[in-house]
Amino acid sequence: MNTSTPLTGLLIEYFETGTEGVMWALMQDGKSGYEGLVLLEAGDHIEVFEIEGPKVYDGIVVPDTSIGAMQRPGSTLRQPVALGRWAHWIQSGFDADVWAGYFCSGKYRGVIHKTTEST
């Protein structure tokens, strides 16, 4: 059986040496560091809210690596670019900068529903 665990917090861009681009994430309320970090993955259900306002998006994560793709300097690899940042993927159907704005501005909160298998 599938169960959904809602996780709430501030939407953030996550990167560190070796990630080769930002990953979209949520920092859970009341937690910090790796303990609170939740990376957004294909199939997750995400709700995006303005911090002091309405819901602006509600849907299932469908990563697209072709949106905003540019060739990396000195390489044959193509990777999405959003708000001047290399990214792993952009949500299908979105403008790259609009999607990245949810995570890079500090102005949006989210609820992520992770689906896990339970026995």
pTM for the model stands at 0.90
Total of domains in the chain: 1
Q: Does 76 reside within a domain?
A: no
Report if residue 74 sits inside a domain.
no
3-state SS of the chain: helix, strand, coil percent to 5? Answer: 10, 50, 40
> Is residue 75 assigned to a domain?
no
Is residue 101 domain-resident? yes
pLDDT at residue 2, rounded to an integer: 56
Residue 52, domain extent: 2-62+93-117
Residue 40 lies in a domain: yes
Q: Look at residue 36 and tell me if it is in a domain.
A: yes
Residue 69 within any structural domain of the chain: no
Which parts of the chain have pLDDT scores under 70?
1-3, 116-119
